[in-house]
Amino acid sequence: MVVFATESDCSDKEQELVRIQAQIDSYTLKNEDLKRTFESDDISAYMERVALEERGYAYPDERRFYDTSRD
């Protein structure tokens, strides 16, 4: 019984390790992208991208349509 529990625990930990490694890879790519942006001295483009993609801002003449039927 103890051996089975240990093997089950190992399997769970291996799955958790794979999940954590995927997160590390994702953060590494994002970090490299940020480094390239800051090294290029083009902070304006970065700020614009964050405002549009992550913060939901829009250009003054831009129209956005949202599907409210999904709520």
Question: Average pLDDT per run of 10 along the chain, which is 71 residues long?
Answer: 71 94 96 84 81 88 83 60
Residue 5: its pLDDT value, please? 66
Amino acid at 19: R
- Smallest CA-to-CA distance from 34 within 56, 19, 54, 18 is with 54
Number of H helices, E strands in the chain: 2, 0
